Amino acid sequence: MHVSQTMSSVQPAIIPVVNEWIRDNPDTLSLGQGMVSYPPPASAMQAIQHFGVQPTDHYYGSAFGMPALLSTIETKLLSENNIDCQRGYRIMVTAGSNMAFLNVLLAIVDPGDEVILPLPYYFNQEMAVRMLHCSPVFVPTDIDYQLQIDQLRAAITTKTRAIVTVSPNNPSGAVYPEAALRAVNALCREHDLYHISDEAYEYFTYDNARHFSPASIADAQAHTISLYSLSKAYGFASWRIGYTVIPEALVSSLLKAQDTNLICPPLITQHAALAALQTGMDYCKAQLQPLSQLRQHIISQLYDLKDVCHAPITEGAFYFLLKLNTDRNDLDVVQRLIRDFKVAAIPGSAFGLTDGCYLRVSYGMLNQTSTTLAMQQLIAGIRALV
């Protein structure tokens, strides 16, 4: 039977592939998938205890999301991100920020258009661009994974429709400074492009890093799109809930995409999300202390690898991106690490890095003891393979 050539041209979904290798090698410790180990706040679970009692709990809801949740998100955006949704923005709740990104692309691109993705990119975004018969245009970042504005400018063509930034970044952990994000936003305004700002890791910053939302810039509302997720900050990975902030002019197109793909966000998830957001970012911030300790622990161990890999110490998310001093294929390295050293990481080629052997290391899921053991096994594996 016929198989879509479009989908055949899209890279494999790397997380399921690595997870299968892990299942085939019991007792493997994973520094792979980007999740947190803590659960949603208790308030979220309490909010859904009696869900389903009311007949309306089983009806279709608004494609935008339920009014109470939209109002709470609007308040959050104003107080935390300095985004005023009363000046030309609309909020739409989605089944995670991945879905928000795909909906946005459906609204702004046509086949043959181009979308600029700084390297390393988030793989699901590159996959979505290709699924819509568009071309991802890759622009390298510097040695510390920071944006290079001149190179972004040089990559713009008549086919360009958007520049995507992910800050704090997956997979590098880099936090883009306000000045860099303002420069990207100005570039988009100058060339009539959309600036798609993925802010799923907005609370995960360390040391002196600060998160900045480009949609807070004055007069940015016509060309700025923001993506948010509860998956990381509130421990909601399986609940699939996020939201996007879009220009008013895109509402009709986004509604078409939402109605076709989802009809409306799941109501039970929205009730849980409402309670989580009402609990507030203090819940998320409280989780950063143990994560920060894990980060420092990993930094100290990465120092011991400085002779065999380049590992910039970034200040966001819960990732480090290592470049190994080897000509080995990164998929082969990942398979060997799992098979022979019982530790998993994600290959950099999934994020568009083809100029060497890269590994993304994630520490969000582990405790202190398992992190220590996982890093010992990773270090032993890297030294044996490099």
Q: Quickly state the pLDDT bin for 211 (edges 50, 70, 90).
A: very high
pLDDT of residue 303: 86
Give the chain's radius of gyration (CA, Å).
21
Percent of the chain predicted with pLDDT > 90: 94
**351-382 confidence digits (pLDDT tens):** 999 999 999 999 998 888 898 899 999 999 99
pLDDT of residue 15: 92
**19-35 confidence digits (pLDDT tens):** 999 999 999 999 998 99
Q: What DSSP character marks residue 202?
A: T
> How many helices and strands (H and E) does the chain possess?
13, 13
Q: Quickly state the pLDDT bin for 291 (edges 50, 70, 90).
A: very high
Whether the pLDDT of residue 304 is over 90: the answer is no
Range 179-206 average pLDDT: 98
3-state SS assignment for residue 361: strand
Distance CA 354, CA 234 (A): 33
Distance CA 245, CA 255 (A): 13
Range 208-233 average pLDDT: 97
**72-91 confidence digits (pLDDT tens):** 999 999 999 999 999 999 99
Give Cα 32 distance to the centre of its chain: 14
pLDDT of residue 144: 96
Closest among 322, 347, 320, 319 to 332, alpha carbons compared: 347
**277-290 confidence digits (pLDDT tens):** 999 999 999 999 89
- Cβ–Cβ under 8 Å, residues 175 and 209: yes
Q: Which residues pair with 90 in a beta bridge?
A: 246
Closest among 104, 129, 105 to 117, alpha carbons compared: 129
pLDDT of residue 366: 85
Q: Quickly state the pLDDT bin for 59 (edges 50, 70, 90).
A: very high
- Structural domains of the chain ordered from first start: 5-40+282-385 (3.90.1150.10), 60-279 (3.40.640.10)
Q: Quickly state the pLDDT bin for 183 (edges 50, 70, 90).
A: very high
pTM of the model: 0.96
pLDDT of residue 367: 85
Q: At 245, list the tokens.
A: 């902030």
pLDDT of residue 384: 95
- Cβ–Cβ under 8 Å, residues 73 and 305: no
- Cβ-in-10-Å burial (0-12, 13-18, 19+) of 16 comes to exposed
pLDDT of residue 83: 98
Q: Quickly state the pLDDT bin for 259 (edges 50, 70, 90).
A: very high
Range 54-72 average pLDDT: 97
pLDDT of residue 126: 98
Q: At 257, list the tokens.
A: 């995409």
What distances in angstroms separate CA 113 from CA 106, 157, 367, one per listed residue? 12, 10, 44
Whether the pLDDT of residue 103 is over 90: the answer is yes
Mean pLDDT of the chain: 96
